[in-house]
């Protein structure tokens, strides 16, 4: 599983996100899935909905060179 290396900030602390990364089936957007907006610097989804094209439906993103 590919883990998100974006930065999240909660309670003033910066952390590495480490959520799973997904790729949108519709537009190819790659990012992690969060439960509200602007949670992660590498966020691509809110509740499984793509932030670029608003489609639902994505696959877990696997880097081919791992």
Q: Interface mask (CB under 5 A) for Zn ion, residues 7-46, using x and -?
A: ----------x-x----x-xx-x--x-------x-x----
When binding is defined by CB under 5 A, the residue of 4, 22, 33, 45 that contacts Zn ion is 4
CA–CA distances in Å: residue 62 to residues 4, 13, 17, 18: 11, 28, 17, 14
Closest distance of CB 65 from Zn ion, Å: 20
Whether 3 and 20 have beta carbons less than 8 Å apart is answered as: yes
Q: Report how far residue 55's alpha carbon sits from residue 18's, in angstroms, rounded to the nearest whole number.
A: 23
Binding site for Zn ion (CB under 5 A): 4, 6, 17, 19, 24, 26-27, 29, 32, 40, 42, 50, 52-53, 55
């Amino acid at each position: 599983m590919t883990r998100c290396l974006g930065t999240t900030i909660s309670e003033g602390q910066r952390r590495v996100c480490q959520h799973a990364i997904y790729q949108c089936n519709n537009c190819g957007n790659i990012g992690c899935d969060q439960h509200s907006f602007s949670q992660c610097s590498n966020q691509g989804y809110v509740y499984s909905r793509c932030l670029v094209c608003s489609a639902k439906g994505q696959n877990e993103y696997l880097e081919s060179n791992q």
